[in-house]
Structure 1
Amino acid sequence: MGAHSHDNIDWDAHLERLRAADDFLAPEIAEVVRRLLLPGDRSVIEIGAGAGGTAAIFVESLAGNGAGAQLTIVDTAEQLLTAAGERASDAADGVAVHTVRADAAADTLAEEIEQAGASPQADLVYAAFVVHHLPDQLAGLRRLASLVKPGGRLAIVEFGLQTRVLPADVGLAEPGLEARLLNAREQWFQQMRAEMEGSVRLPVGWPKAMAQAGLVDTTSFSYLVDRPAPMDESGRAAALRHLAMLRRDAEERVPAEDVSALDQLLDPDSDHYAAHRDDLSYLSASTIHVGTRPA
């Protein structure tokens, strides 16, 4: 995400997962970009590279806004920057793509972007699921707001409603397995925030925090990912990625019966392998908060 370490990662596998997620969510992200990007915008800074799916959509949209457009992608992970830069550069002609290895938690962020040969300010600064990883989230918002041209916008994407993929009763463990796993995930997140070095609480909602960061006319909207059962192969794969993420946080936070049930759902050799079910669905909502830097 550009704000924390990416050590000890199997990059080939990680990029494969990120690319699959990009493809799965492409229709919804294209609509988000359509709503955020104004006809007069010529520059975007994206904080957090991922595998470049969103960057590619930004490039395609910027290419239609006229000459002189540029996209700057910022992340701490060289592998992600390379992959995202290549995908974005291939998306359309006429848009300059810059990749900058920098940390969104560092006060030198704007300076590092400029040193890399990119403009340190843009019409739109976009950060998806990044700010909640920063130790001081309000300071992070102020830092990102400083990258916005006067009259431009900062857009951050944060969680709305937790993703759900399973029926209430999967026939393993007690009914409500996914609800318990999601609660464990929330416990993990709160512990992660509490133990983060330099962590500062943010006891206000995102729109108010953006106003405290100096932005005005703050608004919010949500996008829904709604793929009902039965899903195609890409949908089932997305559900499995979601369940695998929940597994990482489950060991010490849910009963052993729940861990065993989840392991069976994730095991291709199990009779209960989730990918063989025709009742998986994918339902989630994320929220975009947008604030304008005073002209």
Structure 2
Amino acid sequence: MLGMSTTTGHGHGHTHDGINWAERLGHLQAIDALDRDTHADVAQRLAAGLPEGATVVDIGSGAGGMSSAFGRALAAAGGGTVVLVDAVPALLDAATAHVRAEAPAVEVVSVLADAADPALPELVPAGDLVWASGVVHHLPDQQRGVNTLARMVRPGGRLALREGGLATQCLPWDVGIGTPGLQGRLLAARESWFERMRADMPDVVRLPGGWGRALAAAGLGDVTSLGFLVDHPAPASAPARESVVNWLTFMADMAGEWLSEEDRATVARLIDPHDSAFVGNSDDVFVLSASTVHHGTRPVPPA
């Protein structure tokens, strides 16, 4: 029945990176609202050519921004099914509600499951398009994860991974307090966090090479990529400034131990709404990033 939502699987809310994503739901929703137009563009490009009544599977659906964009794209083409998969119940519930509100003409299926579960293809309906945004790099064995996702694609369908690109830039070189160049040091701290996050994962396996090679190794053909830009220039809108505050808060929580005491104090002032340096009131912050979507097609077996 169109618009109905079902939940299956055996999710447990665990994620492999140690991040409490349920606590970040509000931040994820704010990002989705800010990037709504970008999501729509990516969804339309990837959904072009899908069969009538197609099924799109969103692995690690988060707050549901891309799931909703896929739902709107399917609705515009006559309907279909959006399958949301996440290991965090609070995110899955919020994303399901979001898609149902945004695209009531499509069927919505929600599955509580871990993206690293090798049984995922048995828990989740097969998709004409399987989408995973910033998910696979959080899995201990990334190639195994790609292989599992490729098994979830119907013959002739596509697997699309949003991975890599250019990191978010949002601050002028000199923010007026602390030592100039804070943005670069924040990104370097994030890299240090990421290295340790992956090193500390049980049973972690390296993935040498790029994502296109991983898709090809999973048996997919016609492997290629597309890029898209998120650009909210200064003077930034209120939602963009809020996004900068959220980004800085997340960076401080995640990678603060790799920052100097001075930089930690600077960030604390930048995200304090009662401080004169609060970036939420700044007219010279911005949001600029670029992401890459790598995708390949599952071959159709010979007749």
Q: Is the TM-score greater than 0.5?
A: yes
Which of the residues 122, 125, 128 maps onto 2:127? Answer: 122
Is residue 63 from structure 1 mapped to residue 80 from structure 2 by the alignment? no
1:201-233 Cα offsets, whole Å, 9 max, x none, are 001111111111111111111111111110110
Tell me, yes or no, if structure 1 residue 28 matches structure 2 residue 51: no
1:53-103 per-position Cα deviation (integer Å, ceiling 9, x unaligned): 211111111112235x11111111122111111111222343111001111
Paired residue for 2:4?
none
Is residue 17 of structure 1 aligned with residue 27 of structure 2? yes
Of residues 1-10 and 253-262 in structure 1, the stretch that sits farther from structure 2 once superposed is 1-10
Matched, 1:72 2:83: yes
Residue matched to 1:46: 58
In the TM superposition, residue 192 of structure 1 has moved relative to its aligned partner by 0.3
Q: Hey, what's the Cα distance between the residues in 2 that align with 1:77 and 1:46?
A: 14
Alpha carbons of structure 1 residues 92 and 276: separation in structure 2 relative to 1, 3 Å = closer
Deviation per CA, 1:128-152, whole angstroms, max 9, x where unpaired? 0000001000000000000001110
For residue 6 of structure 1, report the CA deviation from its aligned partner: 9.5
Task: Please give the alpha-carbon distance, in whole angstroms, between the structure 2 residues aligned to 1:7 and 1:197.
Answer: 12
Q: Distance in 2 between matches of 1:167 and 1:7?
A: 30
Range with greater deviation from structure 2 (133-142 or 248-257): 248-257
> What 5-or-longer segments of structure 1 have no aligned partner?
114-119
Contact 1:225–1:284 (CA under 8 A) maintained in structure 2:
yes
Q: How many Å apart are 1:48 and its aligned residue?
A: 1.0
Percentage identity across paired residues of the two chains = 43
The alignment of Structure 1 onto Structure 2 pairs a total of residues equal to 287
CA distance in 1, matches of 2:47, 2:92: 22
Structure 2 residue 95 is matched with structure 1 residue 84: yes
CA deviation after TM superposition for structure 1 residue 259, in Å: 0.9
Aligned: 1:107 with 2:118: yes
Please point out which of 157, 171, 178 is paired with 1:173: 178
In structure 2, the CA distance between the partners of 1:103 and 1:43, relative to structure 1 (3 Å rule), is same
Query: Structure 2 vs 1, CA of residues 8 and 35 (structure 1 numbering), >3 Å: closer, same or farther?
Result: closer
The yes-or-no answer on 1:205 pairing with 2:210 is yes
Contact 1:3 1:104 in 2 (8 A): no
> Against the structure 1 CA distance between its residues 204 and 281, is the aligned structure 2 distance closer, same or farther, given a 3 Å change threshold?
same
Asked whether the 8 Å contact 2:162–2:294 carries over to 1, the reply is yes
Q: How does 1:133-144 map to 2 (within 5 A)?
A: 133-144=138-149
Q: Structure 2 unaligned runs (5+)?
A: 1-10
Report the secondary structure of 1:275's partner residue.
helix
CA distance in structure 2 between the aligned counterparts of 1:91 and 1:183, rounded to whole angstroms: 38
Secondary structure of the 2:99 match is helix
* SS of aligned partner of 1:138: helix
- Contact kept? 2:270, 2:277, Cα under 8 Å: yes
Give the drift of 1:8: 9.2
The structural deviation recorded for 1:250 is: 3.9
Aligned counterparts of 1:48 and 1:127: Cα–Cα separation in 2: 6
C-alpha spacing 1:56/1:229, structure 2 compared with 1 (3 Å): same
Runs of 4+ in 1 over 4 A off after TM superposition: 5-11
Deviation at 1:170, TM superposition (A): 1.1
| TM-score (norm: length of structure 2) | 0.90
- Contact 1:250–1:259, Cα closer than 8 Å, also in 2: no
